[in-house]
Amino acid sequence: MLSNFISLKYFSKRKINNLITLTARIKKNPQKFKRVLNDFTIGLLFQKPSLRTKTAFYLGALQLGARAIYFSPQEVQMGEREATFDVARTLARYLDCVVLRCFSHQTILDFVKASTIPVVNGLSDFLHPSQVLGDLFTLHEVKKDIRRIKVVFIGDGNNVCHSLLYGFSIIGGNLVVATPENYSPNREVVQEVKDFAKVSGAKIEVLHDPIKAAEDSDVVYTDVWVSMGKEKESSKRIKAFKKFQVNDKILKKAKKTCVIMHCLPARRGQEITSKVLDSKNSIIFLQAENRLHSAKAILVYLLNKKFSQD
Ligand code: CP
Ligand code: NVA
């Protein structure tokens, strides 16, 4: 069966843990992996801007011995200049894997349907699984047993939040999500992760009080209030999220050892204060670095059979 990396929900606890272990191996000994994707070509097809995801997969491909081609939003105009299906079919004739960043998650699903090569979700409005794999690895590095810590996500219940929910509910962690009332995570996702949690023993909670959520937490994670594509809602969102800024007041409730996470890019002074972002407890730039190691693990897992086994 063709494997893709579209959502963490299609990965078992064992597979996610294997990907975390593979990321650790690649980070520790990159030289060992420098030829594992010799002669492969990876395409990066992005409909939105990117700094980390583009760099992680592009450079990651090169460091594994592969080539990379980046397609900017303007040059392909997928869905406008050409149908998504036709782009997928064409690229499959040239490339070995496509990393896709889209607005609508449906675009990724349509692309996958027509593609005969592996597809990686490099972010959609609904999910950001490559980010969260990197984050799980970062937490494993910093906190060791991820299942023993309380992680709090404060912010918008969209892509990053959904992937965190899938990740923690499958591996069996403790995740509390705090969003404004009208920005809760998708209802179906919440139902699904509750089912996953029954199997894994995870503790998942969704509430609307950031102060209460932060109590006794080991990790506070946030994301922008205005995601890419939502710019028109900017002023409405800034108003709605006002109480959800990660600042000293919220962190007073957390453990002294609590670490701060953010997928970046950050809007300093909106969802997070500069003081917190730059504090000694911030592991935000370690998170950014780990996107590279985890992107390499995803490519190796999808393209080299030696590393695909469960
Ligand atoms: N965190 C993340 O995906 O960053 P970019 O949007 O810069 O890729
Ligand atoms: N929620 C953000 C994540 C950026 C990595 C966005 O979609 O813009």
In a domain, 246, yes or no: yes
Instruction: Please report, as a single letter, which amino acid is at residue 220.
Output: V
**CA-to-CA dists, residue 59 to 37, 49, 95, 109, 141, angstroms:** 13, 17, 17, 26, 22
Predicted pLDDT at 307? 86
With cut-offs at 50, 70 and 90, classify the pLDDT of residue 305. Answer: confident
Task: Answer whether 127 contacts ligand 2 (Cβ < 6 A).
Answer: no
Mean pLDDT of the residues in the chain? 97
Are 47 and 114 found together in one domain? Answer: yes
Residue 55: its pLDDT value, please? 98
Residue 308 has a pLDDT of: 79
- Pair 108, 17 in one domain: yes
Do the domain assignments include residue 1?
A: no
Q: Do 121 and 133 fall within a single domain?
A: no
- In terms of domains, do 48 and 142 share one? no
Domain assignment present for residue 295? The answer is yes
Q: Is 290 in the pocket of ligand 2 (CB under 6 A)?
A: no
Residue 310 has a pLDDT of: 52
Encode pLDDT of 38-59 as tens digits. Answer: 999 999 999 999 999 999 999 9
pLDDT in tens, 163-186: 999 999 999 999 999 999 999 999
Ligand nearest to the CA of 229: 2
Q: How does residue 1 score in pLDDT terms, banded at 50, 70 and 90?
A: low
Q: Are residues 275 and 147 in the same domain?
A: yes
pLDDT in tens, 216-236: 999 999 999 999 999 999 999
**Count of other CB atoms within 10 angstroms of residue 169:** 28
User: Does one domain contain both 195 and 274?
Assistant: yes
**Quick check: is 163 in a domain?**
yes
Shared domain for 15 and 62, answered yes or no, is yes
pLDDT at 306 over 90: no
Residues 277 and 133 in one domain: yes
Where residue 79 falls (left for φ over 0; alpha for ψ -120 to 50; beta otherwise) is left
295 and 163 co-located in one domain: no
Q: Are 52 and 107 in contact (CB under 8 A)?
A: no
Q: Are 96 and 39 in contact, with CB atoms under 8 Å apart?
A: no
Domain range for 35: 8-128+289-308
d(CA 33, CA 40): 14
Whether the per-residue pLDDT at 33 is higher than 60: the answer is yes
- Ligand nearest to the CA of residue 99, numbered in listed order: 1
Asked whether 50 lines ligand 1 (CB < 6 A), one says yes
* Residue 2 forms part of a structural domain: no
Residues 164 and 109 grouped into a single domain: no
Q: Same domain for 46 and 115?
A: yes
Residue 222 Cβ < 6 Å to ligand 2: no
Which of 127, 153, 159 to mutate to test ligand 2, by most ligand atoms within 8 A of the CB atom?
Answer: 159
- Diameter of the chain by CA atoms? 55
| Residue from 109, 134, 146, 145 nearest 124 by CA | 109
Q: Which residue has the tokens 């994301």?
A: 223
Q: How many domains does the chain have?
A: 2
CATH of the domain at 64: 3.40.50.1370
Cis peptide before 185 (omega within 30 of 0): no
Q: What pTM was computed for the model?
A: 0.98
DSSP annotation of 150: E
Give per-residue pLDDT as tens, 227-265.
999 999 999 999 999 999 999 999 999 999 999 999 999
Confidence of residue 278 (pLDDT cuts 50, 70, 90): very high
Residues 193 and 47 both lie in one domain = no
Residue 156 has pLDDT above 90, yes or no: yes
Domain membership of residue 15 (yes or no) is yes
Domain membership of residue 3 (yes or no) is no
Q: What is the pLDDT of residue 2?
A: 62
